[in-house]
Amino acid sequence: IEYDRLPEPGDDVLIGSGDQVILDMETPQLNWVTVEGRLAASRNTTTLLRARSVKVWGFLDMGSLGDPIPAGVTAGVELWGSETDNTVVMVEGLFLKNKVVAVLGSLQAHGEPIGADPWTKLAATAVAGASAITVHGDVSAWPADATVAISATEYPEPPLRTQTETLQLAAAPAYDAGSDTTVLRLRSSLLHRHFAGQTLGSEARAHWPEGVPLAATVALVSGWSNVRFTNAEADTDYGGVVTVGGSSDGVYVGTANLTHVEFSRLGKFAHQHPALHFNYLGQSQSGAAEPDGASRVHRCVFGESLSGAVQVDGASLLEISGNVFHKTYRTALWVGSRADDTEVRVVGNAALETLRHPEEPSAWVNSFAGFLIESRIGELAGNVASGSTDIGFMVRPSLASCVEGDDGQAALPAVNEAVGCMVGVFVLRACESTCTHRCAQVRGFLAWKNSHMGITTVDQSSSMRLDSVAVADNHIGISLNFHIPEFDTMDHRVMYHNVTVIGSSAASVCPSPSQLTPTDGGVGGGNPKVQASIECRAVGQFGGDVAKTVGGSCNSVLDPAVYRRAGVFAHEINALAKLCEGSPKLQVCRPPNKPVKECVMPWEHRIGTGGARYSEARWSKVTFAHWAQDDCNGLASVAFTINPTSIDNNYPNRFTDVVWANTAAADGRVGLGYTRGHPDNRVSDCAAGGDCDGLNQMFLVDTDGSFTATGAADSSVIPIVSPGIGESSCEGRPGHYACAGTGLRLLRWEAPGILNTQTGRVLGRFKMWRRSDRRAAWSRGSYGDGCLPDDAEQQRSFALKPLEAYNLTFFTSPPANHRLNFFSEDDSESVRLALFLAQPFRLEVSVDGTPVPDNYDVGGDAYAPRLPRLTDPHGVHAFDPHERRFYIILRGRTGALTGAGEVTLKLLPVVQLSLSVAVPAEEFDGPSLITNVATLLAIDPSRIKIVSVQTRDQVAASGGRRLQDSTSAVTFQILPDTTASPPSPPAPPAPPPGGGGGSGSDDDFDATQLAELQVVAATVAASIADNTFQAKVSEAVGGSVLEVDDVVASDVDASFPPLAPPPPPSLPPPSVPPSPDVGDSGSNGGGGGGGGGGGGGGDGGGGGGGG
């Protein structure tokens, strides 16, 4: 098409497919400009293309890499128009709206390189009032009148305030080659302090030889690029957009190569269109993966983007590097789900001040981030997210094998850094469903001065590995929450390697209370406690409270009146999902971490009941620094503690090669004491007066003595409120006991298939009593959840010391089936467990689903019964009918940490009789007795089992009644009738959406069998009353029946109220009596409680102190 005039305002312009046009003017405000051929900006004259929209089918050249727009010349595109203008349509499905540069061809835009990186780091702390700052490196090429931004190094104040400052340079930068630093002089003084400095002393650099330097970022944000994309309207939320995309059929694949370009106030807030959008549909995604489909955005600046700066959907070969995103509303860089496992590289970018838009709805939590990487991409390294009023990095982790310690990977070129955000790093779910056999990889992150958490994951579905990670000066450093609804999962692991956890370093200040009382709204406005990073900011349980929805108040699970900081929460596993991706409650997951209900917040709060039978955290090369009980104005900081809402159970943490810096005070290292948490928490059962297995049975394992500084291998750290799981040699320390050389292992008891709500029976609290020192500990099991209703499994957890004998007591009638897992892989470690049964039962024992042979029942030898010994193999067992105790040996074995050696016990209800007969034990005729009693009762002889035949001396040795010479004590049981098919059990309740709900059906006792046994018991009692029974037995054994004890039948409806929690302990642990032989058969009776914290009498006795 040939024109006989220059375009006039409102004209449509077409550059035909054969045309090559050079733009050498500033155009009037045109309507649509369509480029099918080539439109190139002049290299000699300043140009500006003003248009409602530009459609690029061909080639738009605003400078090339080899021929950029030179210094002294500018080239720009200025988009104008309104929301009501005609919509641009190029291909189906590519929603462009209008006021857009739409590229289905090629866009080249390259400004004159400035000769220096567009961002750097402070070299020294810049104090409030300063008018000059010193930065690292040579940035003397920065223009003398350019505008720079200095990132925040204190907590943000959501929704709109951070301490990021934007100032104009007053003179040309002055570089000093000797120090390799540059001085920048500013036109105005700083309002805030911006930190730069070292945080680790020389004694704490074993794992990070260079220490952990922290520093604010300083970036060029305007006044330096000579190629610009802008809006004509200065004050609008309906800005222009640059979209580079492809068609569904793959015919059109657009590309863009952009360097040294400025994008100013672009994006459409209401339509969620970012300033620059790579959007490839259908088959064009394959085309974008070809070399000629590659795109690049390098050393550009995006200022005041109205709905995100850059969004990537479906791109494959794309480099986003060295850019600056400044004052972005919503997410600065969003790599969407359609870019999974691609060669997208995000390297060396800086996102300074990422804000919630003032018009953003606040009825629900809609997260945004400096970097939202929803897909697994080729590289994410060397980026900085600073001053986000929400999240710094939201990332989809890669998956790899779970490796403990050094995995052999090459050193990272540069870590990603999140500072001054609400949450530093939010790690998204790695798999749609559970994939605990693989580890989500979180590698190379530094998170500091974040007002809620440094690094967190929520609803994580895999195991996890954190490598080369440092957290410093955050409200909470690391908090990992997993969603594992399959309760039988035992291969879940968390691997920490080369991790540094820093509390209040030199980057933090502690003003006096008078300085924290605002008289003028604080320095520069705002809350002075937040500005000093003392009071946290976190999203809470929203629902009409805007401050909780946007994080405008302190809503973490920690009690803000007690804690300033916590370094690490022990990881938590939940049975329910709280976020959209793991739950079917919400169908559209945008953003991917959208919560499904108001009450599930804050992020780290427990949801549902506990999941996963076993998990373990393994730490190697760990450094802790800057922790103290009195951190600031009476507020505490603690390096390691539990999540106050993790009330069901916490899993073992194993530490190796730990360094405690001199700045880690003894009173700030481990906090395993009562913790109430935030007053808004939905649960507070770990507070004083509560009952919380997550605290009471928690323990840490110090494999080499470095964590406890005892030097003793296989040491343990236990809660200060649970000395009953330790021993007298444990050393009382602030917040915990350190038990040198006392390795503890986890025992898990379960009633398979029974949920708390299915039987109507409450099993209550269980008591674990150690015979050697009479110490006791208690377990009450899991709680339900009122936010997303979830039935808890019937399970109890206990921390046990190997090579000890324990008594486990139920205070209600026990369930029919029991599962025991002893989580040790050392076959030299064993425990003997004695289950006290208030009623008679017969037990069937299986290991890994296989019934154990008869010779494993060492009490079944009628003439030489004994109790199991700690030297016996795994599964050896015996029943003592006089004590009504069932004894079993649990021994470590290879694979036990993933379930090998699982013991199941099946309780059969019985009628039990004990009698004495005038026949020596060696002459006792058991088969005849069985035949005669079966005939009397008209039952199958196989239902009668002789439990024990004891001599006079054996009875006396066990504390039984005195017998005459040549007299035997005989106990036998009558088993239930299993020939009739019992009625089908009720169907289990449907699990709630998002998992949870336990593992199956009601697997309790059969009511028909119980009723039949009651009839048998009545028949026996009647035959005893008329001496028919005695006559039949005497006939069978050839001797008179001297005495018949009462007939006892199993009654599983009998129940007793659970015991009250013991009182709090005192320090230090008490001395204890010497350990008795654990191979004998004596009863521990019902004696009084042992002294001090861990004491508890026998199974029938009251507990002493202890948690």
Of residues 894, 907, 1049, 881, the one with CA closest to residue 969: 881
CB-based contacts of 3: which residues, under 8 Å, 6+ apart? none
Q: Please check whether residue 594 is in contact with residue 585, taking contact to mean a CB–CB distance below 8 angstroms.
A: no
Q: pLDDT over 90 for what percent of the chain? A: 70
Between 692-706, 962-976, 984-998, the lowest mean confidence (pLDDT) is in 984-998
In this prediction, residue 958 carries a pLDDT of 61
Residue 503 pLDDT class (50, 70, 90 cuts): very high
Of residues 416, 278, 261, 385, the one with CA closest to residue 335: 278
Residue 530 has pLDDT above 90, yes or no: no
DSSP string, 524-578: TSS-HHHHTT-S-----S-SS-HHHHHT-S--SSS-TTTEEEEEEEPPEEESB--
What's the CA gap between 27 and 39, in Å, rounded?
Answer: 13
Kindly report, residue by residue over 555-590, the tens digit of the pLDDT: 999 999 999 999 999 999 999 999 999 988 777 888
Residue 1046 pLDDT class (50, 70, 90 cuts): low
In this prediction, residue 863 carries a pLDDT of 63
In this prediction, residue 920 carries a pLDDT of 81
In this prediction, residue 429 carries a pLDDT of 97
Kindly report, residue by residue over 237-254, the tens digit of the pLDDT: 999 999 999 999 999 999
In this prediction, residue 721 carries a pLDDT of 96
> Tokens in use for 114?
């400035």
Q: Mean pLDDT throughout 42-62?
A: 98
Residue 823 has pLDDT above 90, yes or no: yes
- 945 vs 537: which has the higher pLDDT: 537
Locate tokens 């795994």: which residue?
Answer: 874
Using alpha carbons, list the distances in angstroms from residue 339 to 310, 312, 430, 611, 1059: 14, 7, 15, 32, 57
What's the CA gap between 539 and 554, in Å, rounded?
Answer: 8
Residue 208 pLDDT class (50, 70, 90 cuts): confident
Angle at 236 (CA atoms; ends 233, 242), nearest 5 degrees: 75
Q: Mean pLDDT throughout 984-1009?
A: 53
What's the CA gap between 59 and 41, in Å, rounded?
Answer: 11
What's the CA gap between 723 and 1009, in Å, rounded?
Answer: 43
Residue 953 has pLDDT above 90, yes or no: no
Most confident of 900-909, 971-980, 1022-1031, 1058-1067: 900-909
Q: Mean pLDDT throughout 365-369?
A: 95
Q: Mean pLDDT throughout 995-1006?
A: 53
In this prediction, residue 517 carries a pLDDT of 66
Between 292-306, 808-822, 987-1001, 1067-1081, the lowest mean confidence (pLDDT) is in 1067-1081
Residue 989 has pLDDT above 80, yes or no: no
Q: Mean pLDDT throughout 436-460?
A: 97
Strand, coil or helix: what is 930? helix
Kindly report, residue by residue over 5-15, the tens digit of the pLDDT: 899 999 999 99
What's the CA gap between 313 and 335, in Å, rounded?
Answer: 6
Q: Are strands 804-809 and 766-770 parallel, antiparallel or unpaired?
A: antiparallel
Helices 1007-1025 and 926-937 cross at an angle (nearest 10°) of 100
Kindly report, residue by residue over 892-920, the tens digit of the pLDDT: 999 999 999 999 999 888 898 888 888 88
What's the CA gap between 540 and 557, in Å, rounded?
Answer: 9
Residue 462 has pLDDT above 70, yes or no: yes
In this prediction, residue 744 carries a pLDDT of 97
Residue 1086 pLDDT class (50, 70, 90 cuts): very low
Give the phi and the psi of residue 929 in degrees, each rounded to 5: -60, -45
3 state SS for 138-182 = CCCCCCCCCEEEECCCCCCECCCECCCEEEEECCCCEEECCCCEE
> Tokens in use for 239?
């800005």
Residue 960 has pLDDT above 80, yes or no: no
In this prediction, residue 1035 carries a pLDDT of 86
What's the CA gap between 103 and 253, in Å, rounded?
Answer: 9
Q: Please check whether residue 644 is in contact with residue 607, taking contact to mean a CB–CB distance below 8 angstroms.
A: no
Q: Which residues pair with 717 in a beta bridge?
A: 700, 738
Of residues 456, 455, 273, the one with CA closest to residue 357: 273
Between 611-625, 760-774, 975-989, 1078-1092, the lowest mean confidence (pLDDT) is in 1078-1092
In this prediction, residue 1003 carries a pLDDT of 54
Residue 1100 has pLDDT above 70, yes or no: no
**H-assigned helices in 877-1006:** 926-937, 952-957
Q: Mean pLDDT throughout 486-495?
A: 96
Q: Mean pLDDT throughout 222-233?
A: 95
Residue 281 has pLDDT above 90, yes or no: yes
Residue 756 pLDDT class (50, 70, 90 cuts): low
Kindly report, residue by residue over 117-155, the tens digit of the pLDDT: 999 999 999 999 999 999 999 999 999 999 999 999 999
Rg (CA), the chain: 36
Q: Mean pLDDT throughout 515-524?
A: 55
Residue 1044 pLDDT class (50, 70, 90 cuts): confident
What's the CA gap between 699 and 849, in Å, rounded?
Answer: 29
Positive or negative: CA dihedral 509, 511, 517, 518:
negative
- Give the pTM: 0.91
Q: Mean pLDDT throughout 853-876?
A: 88
Q: pLDDT over 70 for what percent of the chain? A: 89
Residue 1063 has pLDDT above 70, yes or no: no
Of residues 372, 354, 357, the one with CA closest to residue 421: 354
- Mean per-residue pLDDT over the chain, rounded: 88
